[in-house]
Amino acid sequence: MHKISRLFNQLLKQVAQKIGSYSNLSLTQSIMILCVVPMVGSVVLVGYVSFRNGTKAVENLAKQLQQEIHSKVERELNNYLTSPNQVNQINLDNHRLGILNFSDFPLMEKYLWRQIQHFPEIGFIGYAADSGEMIGVERLDNGKIEINLMNDSRHNLRIYPTDSQGNKLTQRKVIPHFINQERPWYKKAVNAGKPTWSDIFIYQGTPRLAVSAVVPIYHKNNQLKGVLFSDLLLSLVSKFLSNLKVGKSGQIVIMETSGLLVASSAEPPFIIPNRKANELEQIPQRISLRESHQPKMRELSANLNLRFPKLDQIKTSQFWTVNLQNQLYFVQVFPFHNNLSSDWLVVILLPHEDVMEEITFNTKISIAISLLTLLLAVFIGIFTAQWITKPILKLNQGVENLQQGNLHEPILMQRKDELGNLVSAFNLMATELQTLLATLEQKVAERTAELIIAKEKAEVANQAKSTFIANMSHELRSPLNAIMGFSQLILRTKNLPREQYENASIIHHSGEYLLSLINDILDFSKIEAGKSTLNPQDFDLYRLLDDLEDIFYHKVVDSGLELIFERGDNLPRYIRTDALKLRQVLINLLSNAIKFTPHGEVILTVNASENFVTAEVGLDVTGFSLEKSDINSHYHYRVNFRISDTGLGIAPEELSQLFQPFSQTESGRESQEGTGLGLTISRQFVNLMGGDITVESELGKGSIFKFSIQAQLGTETINPEPEKNEMRRVLALAPDQPIYKLLVVDDKAINRQLLMKLLLPLGFEVKEASNGQDAIAIWERWEPHLILMDMRMPVMDGYEATKYIKSTIKGNATAIIAFTASVLEEEKSIILSTGCDDFLRKPFKEYTIFDTLTKHLGVQYIYEEILDHNQGIFTEIPPKTENFQIMPKEWLIRLSEAVLEADGEQVMKLVAEIPKTGETLAKNLTKLVHQFQFEQILDLIEPLINDDDLLG
């Protein structure tokens, strides 16, 4: 298509050049040609493209329609096949709990009568004892329920109608010599020795196709007690298929791989042959596709057998076209795998003309419109040429007057279109030219004022650009949610090849890197728009530094670097400032230092200087001394940070541009990483916290970044441990909990699918909705415990849906968690004000979902004890003496000598000799050396070394 457009544009250029080369053509003639030629070309191009793409469009449309029907059929069949096993399991559980006694027939009559009311797809529920008794209830075609009872020694099966209360009425029929052990379904259960399915059979009387789920029941001595059974009415499947719309006259057939029909949208899957003279009644018989009453279905069977001599060879969905009864059809065949004795095949037959009808009609309309447009183009071309050329001639005359210096004769024209505006502008230009010549100095001043206004508009435009970038960052987080979410699901999968874990880990880490770039752009946009504010909170500064050391540990070990954290003695543990912004600044500076340091060390030094506000502290207005908690709020600290490295350094000419947006050093450009916004954002955050960043650097020797922030003394806080939750993978729900019902609301199917795949395997009941209106309908009917609500959706957004639900008494018992890609704090406030109980951001990590469910529902989980190191998660375990047993005794002796001399440098050299299998030991030793805990190291290794070795 692109190639055709390029050729068409080249043709138009050649036509225009040819027209320009003929100087004897008038302007009117040239305009007419230029109006008509493109229209003719457009009609030809549309016709060609329609002809070329018509067939392909029809096939794609047919595939989409059949794929949609495919999904509906597969989903409905799964629902049908679940019910019989569910009924059997309920009865078996009640029997084991002592609620249901199979021998108590009066109780069984009432119980089974009520049970079958709740399962419209079930035709018969019963129990057959090995001793010969049987009790069951049967649903008739008219919807009435009959009780089947056999409890005498003559094996007479008595059938009783029932009233609306389930009471037996007068006996209707007796079937003599009904022996359980001779029934095919009974034999199938006994031979299997476990829950299974019978072969498909036909009910007598009013023929109905059915299949029975059977469960053998044994005494404690493993002796057979009886068989539970529940019959699924396959006639309901045919009814469902007949209600599906497959074009106007399409059909759906379900059959076994043997060829026998299971269900059909157009005919019964069995026949009733003519009764013979010696037969008392007509016996229905199942038929295959080749025995269908419809000739086209028999032809389809022949075509199917030709393509697939053995139907059980069909393992995936197949799609092709075939001519049946001189009519073209689209055919799709796909296998439906079940636990019956034979898998099923679903055949969808879609007439070609059903798909083509509307397309053919639209094509005819398009051609008619194109021809009509072509005629109108000729007429409009003539009119337009005259209409345009007349004012142009007047403008030409005005230009000649202007060239001659005659500025006092305006062009007279009464038009309000573009040409009229052009004439008015020309007249105005002539007038202004006269004024300009007379008052040039005044005009210069006016133009200067206009430039100032233009500059202000440019600044407004720049602000709008920042807002636009922020909105784009929001939109990018939604698809990134799917990338990072599904990569986490893959990492949760067990028994995958190691290569697949590595691939998923790469995807996840790449997503986190992309998220950091998006966050950088968003932070920069918020800074430019003046929306970046300080959010102070009390937090544990020591914990923050420990987390940073853990984050960069593997990176520095892999790079062969040494990372040292030094804390001043006067450094307070709990301070009050913006913890998130401080963390981001430190991560940015440490990442840069490690990235541009090929060997050597990176050192973070932190200390504090105390500023005590004496005017506000000591005595209150009454003269009494202040409590310690009151005094703390008046302590102010200047916390100083210094990050030094032995890396590549920065050239002097680059230092002045280092904190400019999108600016990178030569080393940064060579690394081809980052946005060039990290240092800009870091400086802005430090400024918000009452400080500034400075840098000292020398090429080839390294760099030193320093900054200070203002902070108050904070109060002790209970530190959340998201890292531990993230490392402890949830395997399932803890036992003895209620069944939690969750509703996922999101207009994007991929986000719903992600949450469904995360929550369903754990044992939650989960339903989904694509907008707020559907969510309200499901909430009213299903009453979920918790709703994960997206806020931006069509039809009805999450704000309106939340307000509606929370405005009711029942809605206050439902927890609603806002689930959005927005990161603006003001939007979070708006969302919570609508009634949402909590706020989660996309992309998410799986542990945030689980923690939120625990917070609002009290959900408890079973966690995996051993973590997957392929995911890059490292669990810190306190060192033990047995951890050192992987090292030789000679190494332990050298380590003890270095520890006794408190030689940290020699200890670190010995740590470097620890193999990769001792990664935990290496990390713990490194931390003990940095904390100067030499005595603890000696206590750990002393049991492994003889006293003689220690003495020398």
Q: How confident is the model at residue 21 (pLDDT cuts 50, 70, 90)?
A: low
pLDDT at position 871? 40
User: Is the predicted pLDDT of residue 732 greater than 70, yes or no?
Assistant: yes
Q: Which of 708, 704, 700 is nearest to 683 (CA)?
A: 708
What one-character DSSP code corresponds to residue 162?
A: B
Q: Tokens 């713990």 appear where? A: 924
Are the C-beta atoms of 712 and 579 separated by less than 8 Å?
Answer: no
> Residue 528: phi, psi to the nearest 5?
-65, -35
Residue 69: which H helix or E strand, with range?
helix 27-96
Rounded Cα distance, 52 and 662, in Å: 48
Residue 525: which H helix or E strand, with range?
helix 498-528
| Total residues found in the chain within this entry | 952
Q: Which of 191-195, 322-326, 346-350, 722-726 has the lowest mean pLDDT?
A: 722-726
Share of the chain above pLDDT 90, in %: 17
Q: What is the pLDDT of residues 853-892, one digit of tens each?
A: 999 999 999 887 544 433 433 445 667 788 888 888 889 8
Q: Which of 313-327, 570-584, 643-657 has the lowest mean pLDDT?
A: 643-657
- Which is higher by pLDDT, 879 or 756? 756
Residue ranges of the alpha helices (H) in 638-696? 652-655, 666-671, 678-688
- Using CA atoms, how far residue 868 sits from 193, 327, 354, 509, in Å, is 40, 58, 54, 15
What mean pLDDT is predicted for residues 59-83?
79
Are the C-beta atoms of 813 and 834 separated by less than 8 Å?
Answer: no
Q: Which two tokens stand for residue 109?
A: 């009559």
The residues facing 202 across adjacent strands are 209
Q: How confident is the model at residue 316 (pLDDT cuts 50, 70, 90)?
A: confident
Cα 43 to its chain centre, rounded Å, is 44
Rounded Cα distance, 645 and 630, in Å: 41
Q: What is the pLDDT of residues 794-818, one digit of tens each?
A: 999 999 999 999 999 999 989 999 9
SS3 (DSSP) at 129: strand
Q: Assess whether the previous peptide bond of 843 is cis (omega < 30° from 0).
A: yes
Rounded Cα distance, 836 and 713, in Å: 33
- Which span out of 609-623, 752-766, 822-836 was modeled with the highest average pLDDT? 752-766
Rounded Cα distance, 522 and 531, in Å: 11
Q: Which two tokens stand for residue 227?
A: 């068989």
pLDDT at position 951? 38
Q: Which of 10-14, 188-192, 390-394 has the lowest mean pLDDT?
A: 10-14
pLDDT at position 14? 63
pLDDT at position 832? 85
Rounded Cα distance, 691 and 606, in Å: 15
Rounded Cα distance, 394 and 172, in Å: 106
User: How open is the CA angle 870-876-880, to the nearest 5 degrees?
Assistant: 120
Are the C-beta atoms of 264 and 252 separated by less than 8 Å?
Answer: yes
What mean pLDDT is predicted for residues 760-788?
94
Q: How confident is the model at residue 616 (pLDDT cuts 50, 70, 90)?
A: very low
User: Is the predicted pLDDT of residue 433 greater than 70, yes or no?
Assistant: no
pLDDT at position 628? 38
> Residue 122: phi, psi to the nearest 5?
-95, 130
> Residue 327: phi, psi to the nearest 5?
-135, 140
- Using CA atoms, how far residue 203 sits from 124, 179, 211, 289, 725, in Å, is 10, 17, 10, 21, 57
Q: Which of 274-288, 307-321, 356-370 has the lowest mean pLDDT?
A: 274-288
Q: How confident is the model at residue 630 (pLDDT cuts 50, 70, 90)?
A: very low
**Encoded amino acid at 63, one letter:** K
What mean pLDDT is predicted for residues 709-721?
74
User: Is the predicted pLDDT of residue 615 greater than 80, yes or no?
Assistant: no
**Encoded amino acid at 654, one letter:** E
- Which is higher by pLDDT, 280 or 41? 41
Q: Tokens 């959706």 appear where? A: 793
Percent helix, strand and coil across the chain, each to the nearest 5: 50, 20, 30
What one-character DSSP code corresponds to residue 740?
A: -
User: Is the predicted pLDDT of residue 142 greater than 60, yes or no?
Assistant: yes
Write the DSSP assignment of 210-264 as a string of letters. Answer: EEEEEEEEE-TTS-EEEEEEEEEETHHHHHHHHHS--TTT-EEEEEETTSBEEEE
DSSP β-ladder status, 196-197 and 208-218: antiparallel
Are the C-beta atoms of 348 and 69 separated by less than 8 Å?
Answer: yes
Q: Which of 55-64, 136-145, 251-260, 762-771 has the lowest mean pLDDT?
A: 55-64
Contacts of 925 (CB under 8 A, 6+ apart): 879, 907, 911, 914, 937
Q: Is the dihedral of CA 910, 912, 918, 923 positive or negative?
A: positive
What mean pLDDT is predicted for residues 548-573?
83
What one-character DSSP code corresponds to residue 412?
A: P
Residue ranges of the alpha helices (H) in 817-883? 825-833, 846-857
Q: Which of 928, 845, 863, 584 is nearest to 730 (CA)?
A: 863
User: Is the predicted pLDDT of residue 724 greater than 60, yes or no?
Assistant: no
What mean pLDDT is predicted for residues 361-374?
73
- Using CA atoms, how far residue 883 sits from 436, 878, 887, 923, in Å, is 91, 10, 9, 12
Q: Which of 66, 456, 77, 435 is nearest to 246 (CA)?
A: 66
- Using CA atoms, how far residue 710 sits from 277, 636, 637, 688, in Å, is 106, 7, 6, 10
Q: Which two tokens stand for residue 28?
A: 């009117």
**Encoded amino acid at 947, one letter:** D
pLDDT at position 405? 63
Q: How confident is the model at residue 526 (pLDDT cuts 50, 70, 90)?
A: low
- Using CA atoms, how far residue 524 sits from 276, 580, 816, 882, in Å, is 89, 15, 32, 51
Rounded Cα distance, 740 and 763, in Å: 8
Are the C-beta atoms of 733 and 861 separated by less than 8 Å?
Answer: yes
Query: Is the overall model pTM greater than 0.75, yes or no?
Result: no
What one-character DSSP code corresponds to residue 168?
A: B
User: Is the predicted pLDDT of residue 777 greater than 90, yes or no?
Assistant: yes
What mean pLDDT is predicted for residues 292-315?
87
Q: Which of 770, 736, 757 is nearest to 859 (CA)?
A: 736
Residue 328: which H helix or E strand, with range?
strand 327-336
Average pLDDT over the chain reads 78
Rounded Cα distance, 70 and 347, in Å: 9
pLDDT at position 623? 37
- Using CA atoms, how far residue 672 sits from 473, 665, 666, 813, in Å, is 21, 11, 10, 52
Q: Which of 530-534, 567-571, 622-626 has the lowest mean pLDDT?
A: 622-626
DSSP β-ladder status, 574-577 and 601-612: unpaired
Q: Which of 128, 209, 132, 205 is nearest to 172 (CA)?
A: 205
Residue 125: which H helix or E strand, with range?
strand 122-129
User: In sequence order, what E strands does 453-589 have?
Assistant: 537-540, 562-567, 574-577
Q: Which of 881, 887, 877 is nearest to 924 (CA)?
A: 877
pLDDT at position 282? 64
User: Is the predicted pLDDT of residue 84 greater than 80, yes or no?
Assistant: yes
- Using CA atoms, how far residue 773 sits from 523, 768, 769, 778, 796, in Å, is 34, 12, 9, 9, 6
Are the C-beta atoms of 226 and 129 separated by less than 8 Å?
Answer: yes
Q: How confident is the model at residue 940 (pLDDT cuts 50, 70, 90)?
A: confident
User: Is the predicted pLDDT of residue 784 greater than 90, yes or no?
Assistant: yes
- Using CA atoms, how far residue 532 sits from 239, 524, 685, 686, 799, in Å, is 61, 9, 9, 12, 25
Q: Measured over all CA atoms, what is the biggest interatomic distance in the chain, rounded to whole angstroms?
A: 130
Distant-in-sequence contacts of 893-897, Cβ < 8 A, 24+ apart: 893/945, 893/949, 895/937, 895/941, 896/938, 896/941, 896/942, 896/945, 896/949, 896/950
Q: What is the pLDDT of residues 894-936, one digit of tens each?
A: 888 888 887 888 888 888 888 877 777 888 888 787 767 787 8
Within 10 angstroms of residue 13's Cβ, the number of other Cβ atoms is 9
What one-character DSSP code corresponds to residue 64?
A: H
Q: Which two tokens stand for residue 110?
A: 């009432």
N- to C-terminal Cα separation, the chain: 86
User: Is the predicted pLDDT of residue 493 greater than 80, yes or no?
Assistant: no
Q: How confident is the model at residue 774 (pLDDT cuts 50, 70, 90)?
A: very high
